[in-house]
Chains A and B, each alone.
Chain A
Amino acid sequence: MLPGLKLGKSSKPARSKEPDESRRKFLKASGMTLGGLVVGGVFGGVLTDSLEKNQAPAPASSKPETSLQDALMFFNQEQFKMTEAAAERIYPVDENGPGAKALGVAFFIDHQLAGPWGYNARDYMMGPFVQAQTTQGEQSRLKRNEMFTLGLEGLKSYCQQKHQKAFTELEGQQQDEVLTAMEKGDKFPMRGVTSSSFFNMLKNLTIEGVYADPLYGGNRNMNGWKMRNFPGNQMSYAQQITKEGLVQIQPKSLQAHMSE
């Protein structure tokens, strides 16, 4: 027999109270009451809320949000500050709303580098390591968090040499020039990683930190999503998908499931 295989049986709903009227209507409309099969614990009361709270979303706030979770797993203080400053240039605060700094992106990056992804836990890391053609992908013996550390080291020396200052002390315009040179690989020496690979890693992490679910430490208060009207974790659009134009929906994060 297969351990853990729970098929063909409905499981207990996460909330036992009597479903309210809107939930009952929805379940009827979408046919969810059927047979009980596969509509398992995930449903609980989750569907109801996504239907009830469809008021126009509140605008994104630029006010920084802090919490007891705001501490570091990987970076030292200098690395954190450099990453935060660089991410802010990639995704700056503007009239649309907060930038990477207020969104907590540097915390996101710190946590990613400290976790399985930063340690390449699910990547093929056996040798030999050979210079690759561009069509063959990264062939580095280094882990991502080692590459990131060496990338920051390279950024630091570049700024020292060129401006005799730390990256964080440069004006925004100068920071952009440094990042542009780094992206282009224009006389930008680094150990173990090319400056353009490091830039790409930093850029991708920044975008992830802006738009990933807030559970990972970035996208504070779902402000990344709010700036683009992305509603996050919604259980159903079955009633809205045939509507013309952009339907505005109050966003929800995965945390909403925990309170069901």
Chain B
Amino acid sequence: MAKLPKVPVVIVGMGWVGGILAAELTKAGVQVVGLERGKSRSTEDYFMDHDELRYARRFELMQDLSKETITFRNTESMRALPMRSYGSFLLGDGLGGAGSHWNGQTHRFLPYDFEIYSQTVDRYGKGKIPAGMQLQDWGITYDEIEPYYDKFEQMAGISGESEANPMLGKRSHPFPTPPMKKTPILQRFEKASKKLGYHPYMIPSANLSENYKNPDGVSRAACQYCGFCERFGCEYGAKADPVVTVIPTAMATGKLEVRTFSNVTEILHDGKKATGVVYINTVTGEEVTQPADVVILGSFVLNNVRLLLSSKLGTPYDRKTGRGTIGRNYAYQVNSGHAVGFYDDEEFSTFMGAGALGMEFDDFNGDNFDHSDLKFLHGAGIRISQNGLRPIENNPAPQGTPTWGKEWKKTTLKYANRVLTVAIQGASLPWKHHYLDLDPTYKDIYGKPLLRITFDFEDQDRELTKFLADKAGEVMKEMGPSHVEVKDKLDPYNIVPYQSTHNTGGVIMGADPETSAVNSYLQMWEAENVFVVGASAFPHNSGYNPTDTVGALAYRAAEGIQKYLKQGGVLV
């Protein structure tokens, strides 16, 4: 095995987290090595980007599951089986990672989210939290994380409405660019939701509303609303992506070395500190040791957890005793509830759009409404999105229509441009029996155990969906369609249909080493030179898209790591 000279910092994964940390550390003069298992990417690679089959159906930008996947079971009484092809969520791959294929919706979490346990107990008493729900505070407050949100938003050029919204946390600075275009479809949603007394706003967008030069001097062009965003790359660089923002910033310092086709398989450690990582150069097949003073895990949620477990670093979560932290509080998102409006007398240009083009209101998100008489906690954003409806995946027909044949063709063609949807994006709260561990049977191509997910929807999620989807239905009706269908019933979690790539938890943050794996600088309690950064640190998932919070945590970690490189020790 080749052993390379020691470096100050090694990063596993070059997506948003890896890119932000590389940019911040190299600007501060630190030498960084970034290891990326996939290939390099540039905007030129998206020459043939507007290809629904290749990108949306055959998952061009996603990880090759023949090498590695996860296993899944709803409950502990089931045998976990591998996710053999893509469904419920999509794992990014290559330079930019999930930051290349995301939609660009850039919400902050609510002040309530960071103190969810304390605030729930204060307002409703301990008895409001159902048995088995493992709600916990984040060890950081909204006011403390706010400056880091601001940093991410300035870097990415987020487009949004800066007027104060009573439902959201305060902002120290306005959004760097104005909101995206308020299209006729969005105006219709705005009018309807305002009439019902709600507070709609333009979804903060990482698809630029206008040309923008960020504080690092990186310039990007405005979004063209071409309708190919999520699952696609952006050939314009209008969608903020690590490849067109933080990675070039880091490269310009001359202090970042990115090694692509480098798949990290192990974190080396002595039980107290990491000494480096082992990776496979997938071009040569060679196993390489890269010693480092600081190891940053910046890969996707699931891989962060798997690497810690298979490297035996940190104490694995034991569901029976509740002890240990690695794998604890896996959460997801509750997205199935929605209301569809069919318009017999109107057509819309729903094929136009952008990943983050939409409007939303948060009157039923977080604790913005009274839960005293409700059988669930938290809530959901209620939103309309105009992302660009593509023809393979969007063939709506009213219930009762045959699912193929003459009548199906006629009806789906009729409604191809006559359907609007108001959807919910619900919070997912943690439970003792939802967790991640290593699968006892299935292995990756290197012979290492796959990660096993044990997760299902609970009554909390079903109650939330029923309540929120009915609210979405009221808005949809107000938008004047000929016919509305509301889906307010939540089925058991099924890994087959796509739902959301907002997987969270497993290496969660907090103030107490007994119940959290990392502190508020994302530093591991059990290994002070290891920083595990990403949505893996979320103790629960909110009713929003996670990337703004992931970005904020990365900026927070960057500050912590610089402090650590100077003084060492536990940072809090």
Contacts and interface: CB of A to CB of B under 8 A. Distances in A.
Interface string A1-28: 1111111100100000000000000000
A5 B42 contact: yes
A72 interface: no
A76 interface: no
Contacts of A65: none
Nearest to B88: A137
B48 A254 contact: yes
B349 A246 contact: yes
What is the interface of chain A mostly: helix, strand, loop, or mixed? loop
B118 to A, nearest CB: 35
Nearest to A89: B405
Contacts, number: 246
Contact of A40 (B43, B223, B395): B43
A246 B184 contact: no
What is the interface of chain B mostly: helix, strand, loop, or mixed? loop
Interface stretch (B245-253, B313-321, B505-513): B245-253
Interface stretch (B106-114, B143-151, B408-416): B408-416
Contacts of A207: 392, 395
Nearest to A229: B417
Interface in B240-267: 243-244, 247-248, 251-252, 257-260
A123 B349 contact: no
A241 B225 CA distance: 7
B244 A31 contact: no
B332 to A, nearest CB: 13
Nearest to A95: B410
Nearest to A11: B44
A214 to B, nearest CB: 11
B69 to A, nearest CB: 4
B426 interface: no
B548 to A, nearest CB: 22
B79 to A, nearest CB: 6
B81 A136 contact: yes
A11 B68 CA distance: 36
Nearest to B182: A242
A91 B222 contact: no
A254 B221 contact: no
Contacts of A234: 50, 226-227
Given A34-B219, A135-B494, A4 B40 contact: yes
B82 interface: yes
B352 interface: yes
B51 A254 contact: yes
Given A230-B416, A237-B349, A246-B348, A8 B406 contact: no
Contacts of B322: none
Contacts of A137: 81, 83-85, 87, 495-496
B391 A211 contact: yes
Interface in B186-236: 210-211, 213, 218-227, 235-236
A236 B224 contact: yes
A97 to B, nearest CB: 9
B221 A31 contact: yes
B409 A94 contact: yes
A241 B183 contact: yes
Contacts of A235: 224, 226
B221 A34 contact: yes
B279 to A, nearest CB: 16
Contacts of B348: 245-246
Nearest to B237: A38
Interface residues of B, number: 92
Nearest to A137: B496
Interface string A224-260: 1101111111111110111111110000001001000
B69 A135 contact: no
Nearest to A39: B221
Contacts of A68: none
B423 interface: no
A8 B248 contact: yes
A136 B403 CA distance: 23
B52 interface: yes
B57 interface: yes
Which of A4, A136, A210, A257 has the most CB atoms of chain B within a 10 A radius of its CB? Answer: A136
B478 interface: no
A41 interface: yes
B494 A216 contact: no
Contacts of A246: 347-349, 417
Nearest to A211: B391
B390 to A, nearest CB: 8
A114 B269 CA distance: 46
Nearest to A224: B391
Contacts of B72: 135-136
A32 B221 contact: yes
Nearest to A3: B40
A164 interface: no
B225 A237 contact: yes
A42 B260 contact: no
Interface stretch (B59-67, B152-160, B292-300, B530-538): B59-67
Contact of B391 (A203, A228, A254): A228
Given A132-B81, A236-B226, A42 B46 contact: yes
A136 to B, nearest CB: 5
Contact of B346 (A134, A215, A243, A245): A245
28 contacts: A2-B40, A5-B251, A31-B210, A31-B211, A37-B237, A38-B219, A42-B47, A117-B58, A122-B59, A126-B443, A137-B87, A138-B85, A207-B392, A207-B395, A211-B390, A212-B57, A212-B392, A229-B416, A234-B227, A235-B226, A236-B226, A237-B352, A238-B222, A241-B181, A241-B386, A242-B183, A242-B184, A246-B348
